[in-house]
A and B are shown apart, each in its own frame.
Chain A
């Protein structure tokens, strides 16, 4: 048994200025690691998390964010300065949780030492007066004190108490249990650090990207294949797994009746993939909630849409553009979609088309054309036609889903109304002025996949599971001390049992009663059946 009770000797008397700095630092550290500070930092964390749920966040939904910014021109610069569009990686949010973590470390480390010592210390000797304890019971017996104490040791051992070594001539037994409560609490707090580490690792070194892939097309995992790509700050492209895959098909089931008529489900995109060049070809049915994992990378199915196959033949009779063209849904329910076609090779002048696709065409005077349903039952495209300079030559990057019409003119009919290309699959139309022909040859589908790599995910998951286990120990293990004293008196042996529950509000009375019953031998609670005590308070 070793207990270090000697307080550490102070350093030689420091000079006043020295003292104040060190004292200040020490004072600050004590403040930072105090329970009250932890509490305030927790509340501050909660408060700081609020704005990000009200203001659209760059990292969550960038489109919504830019729309919001357009709608609030005065607030936007202020919010921007405060980092309110990216709260969870803003300096002030980070500062709060880093302080919390420092406070946590400062809190845990000394407690680990205390715990270690407590673990090795024997249960303390019995207080002089057991009847002052929160729970106390006494009875007299005709057994000898030594015999009673002997049995008490057995009973307490049976109830999984740790006992102090018997002292020569002692009249009491000291017992203790429930060290796991503190262990659980420490585990919980420590595990939180690991969760944070895992989370940080994933967001610094991981990446997340999306790509739209027309059915039949392939994808190979390198930066150029992605439509959008969000790397962590320390991301290294060399870690990207060199897999390739082809989207072989896409199917969905459309509900025709019922309260969710029009909704699609059972999305399924069968893939053929190779984990690396030269590896064996494998297949996988990619579905929602069923990502494909290749190495540390996961591929998720998150969206779908239509790609009409459009061919533009120019004025010279050459095919200037042909192929499935991805149209993006502007309405998630009916799949009314928008898209552009850029026939940059057309001559005599470049031709652009932009307009909408209606998977199931509908028309009323009030609404104009619309889509009745998301499934492609009666597909129809309606596009305006532009001639001039598509603006592709000057090197500024352009989205493939939008057209820069600054240097283009829209074709008009004789009455001044826009000339529209209105087509069903298989149809074609001649453009005015001998510019060429546009045909709608068929409808393909595309899927949108999200591909992400989040290292540290196991660490984070292991961390929360450990935290939960620790939490259960911390909340439900009851640390208890029990003392049994037996003394010779005039009318036999006086046996006293006292108990202390070291958690606030814990009530050791039942435990003491059960121990007394076991000692007297008239209770149901013989050492063999000792389950009840622990369970009761869970």
Chain B
């Protein structure tokens, strides 16, 4: 295949993935809306079904609901998951195509478009990987909705044709640094969703119908959020405080130079450290910790999107890579 056809393949795969994510979102919406008016008692069963776990030992007698509807809900839950898996596969093809289209072949994270493509891919991938272990069935509509939105943003506003990397980006450390940063971003994003839902559910109180009522109990949400952050934090540490400085040392002669991108990565790191502390500090547990998690998510995404537009001095300019590296000398 030629570079051009890889690029076309990538673009088509992005479009296809977007459509399938959208269908997955619809499936999840049907699933949750058919439960909209049903009180929570039977809901936990539906969630468990969706996770494909408690099917065999579900006490059928407890059900007060129409079994047809029950089946329909389970069906859409499964359909949503299946479509998400399919979309994730297409998403992977899109990334592969981007990498193969470049000459020389490379990892697909040279600019904002590619970074968004990869970032959202890891959001989905981590969601699927943690699906069972952390019981994330309830997160389906959020993940699909978020990823499809970000893909649209990427395609409409951030699109950049395939291009070779600037010289400093051409390093094996880039691969390790960025892949770990993206994985951590994915985990933190999922953790941020969880903390946001924690806060919404805490505010909603004891409602017995609707999406919020069907979410896991507050302590469970809190724990899931902690697990996601606890996974993300060491990965982020590795990306920002180990591989980032190693690469910066090689490319810019200084392993830490308080470049705005570095500053914000550091801020994110400190905020998440504060989150981990907050979870074990009386008076900060629960709600305040969840707010800190959201603050962390905000700094994380601001660093990715905001800094490229607001800061004038960042060397990490994905947005304008030409001038970034072997830079002119100003006397």
Contacts and interface: CB of A to CB of B under 8 A. Distances in A.
B307 interface: yes
Interface string B313-328: 1000000011101111
B211 interface: no
A258 B330 CA distance: 28
Interface in B231-279: 233-234, 237-238, 241-242, 245-246, 249-260, 263-264, 266-267, 270-271, 273-274, 277-279
A330 B281 CA distance: 54
A212 B281 CA distance: 54
Interface string B80-116: 0000000000000000000000000000000000000
Given A42-B273, A302-B252, A460-B255, A49 B267 contact: yes
Given A267-B167, A460-B255, A504-B280, A305 B250 contact: no
Nearest to A374: B322
B146 to A, nearest CB: 25
B165 to A, nearest CB: 8
Contact of A505 (B162, B222, B310, B311): B222
A210 B280 CA distance: 48
B160 interface: yes
B283 A333 contact: no
Contacts of B33: none
Given A472-B234, A504-B280, A39 B274 contact: yes
A263 B328 contact: no
A302 B168 CA distance: 10
B59 to A, nearest CB: 20
Given A39-B278, A53-B307, A452-B254, A304 B326 contact: yes
Interface in A188-205: 195, 199
B284 A471 contact: no
Contacts of A505: 219, 222-223, 226
Contacts of A63: 330
A291 interface: yes
Contacts of B260: 52-54
A472 B231 CA distance: 9
Contacts of B325: 288
A102 to B, nearest CB: 16
A117 interface: no
B281 A258 contact: no
B254 A464 contact: no
Interface string B207-230: 000000000000100110010001
Interface residues of A, number: 76
Interface string B289-321: 000100000010000000100111100000001
A390 interface: no
B163 interface: yes
Given A333-B323, A475-B230, A36 B256 contact: no
A266 interface: yes
Contacts of A454: 254-255
B327 A42 contact: no
Nearest to A100: B270
A464 B241 CA distance: 7
A53 B271 CA distance: 16
B166 interface: yes
A262 B330 contact: no
A88 B258 contact: yes
A39 B226 CA distance: 17
B330 A328 contact: yes
Contact of B313 (A57, A291, A460, A465): A57
Nearest to B270: A46
Contacts of A39: 274, 277-278, 281, 284
B326 A302 contact: yes
A332 B328 contact: yes
A535 B241 CA distance: 26
A42 B321 CA distance: 33
B231 to A, nearest CB: 8
A248 B79 CA distance: 65
Contacts of A294: none
A288 B267 contact: no
A121 interface: no
B327 A60 contact: no
Contact of A49 (B164, B242, B266, B327): B266
Contact of B234 (A212, A335, A475): A475
Given A42-B274, A288-B168, A468 B328 contact: no
A49 B263 contact: yes
Given A49-B263, A49-B266, A329 B329 contact: yes
Contacts of B234: 468, 471-472, 475
B52 interface: no
B5 to A, nearest CB: 16
A42 B170 CA distance: 35
Given A52-B258, A468-B234, A42 B277 contact: yes
B283 A36 contact: yes
Interface string A11-52: 000000000000000000000000110110011011001101
Contacts of B280: 35, 504
A151 interface: no
Contacts of A465: 242
B41 interface: no
A266 B270 CA distance: 37
Given A289-B171, A303-B329, A401-B331, A38 B253 contact: no
A259 B257 contact: no
A255 interface: yes
A259 B161 contact: yes
A530 interface: no
A300 B237 CA distance: 26
A302 B328 contact: no
B167 A266 contact: yes
A452 B321 CA distance: 25
Contacts of B274: 39, 42-43, 46
B329 A464 contact: no
B132 to A, nearest CB: 12
Contacts of B323: 332-333
A224 B253 CA distance: 20
A260 interface: yes
Contact of A468 (B242, B251, B259, B270): B242
Nearest to B328: A329
A330 B242 CA distance: 34
Contacts of A303: 326-329
B167 A288 contact: yes
A291 B168 contact: no
A43 B162 CA distance: 40
Contacts of A448: 329
Contacts of A111: none
A149 interface: no
A343 B321 CA distance: 39
Given A53-B311, A471-B237, 11 more contacts: A36-B281, A36-B284, A42-B273, A45-B270, A57-B258, A60-B258, A61-B313, A255-B164, A289-B171, A471-B234, A475-B230
User: 9 tightest CB-CB pairs across the interface, nearest first?
Assistant: A329-B328, A401-B331, A53-B260, A332-B323, A300-B253, A42-B274, A53-B263, A288-B167, A505-B223
Interface of B: 160-164, 166-168, 170-171, 219, 222-223, 226, 230, 233-234, 237-238, 241-242, 245-246, 249-260, 263-264, 266-267, 270-271, 273-274, 277-281, 283-284, 292, 299, 307, 310-313, 321-323, 325-331
28 contacts: A36-B283, A39-B274, A39-B278, A52-B258, A52-B260, A53-B263, A54-B260, A258-B163, A260-B163, A260-B164, A264-B326, A288-B168, A289-B250, A290-B250, A302-B253, A304-B326, A329-B329, A333-B322, A333-B323, A452-B254, A460-B245, A464-B242, A468-B234, A468-B237, A468-B241, A471-B234, A504-B280, A505-B219
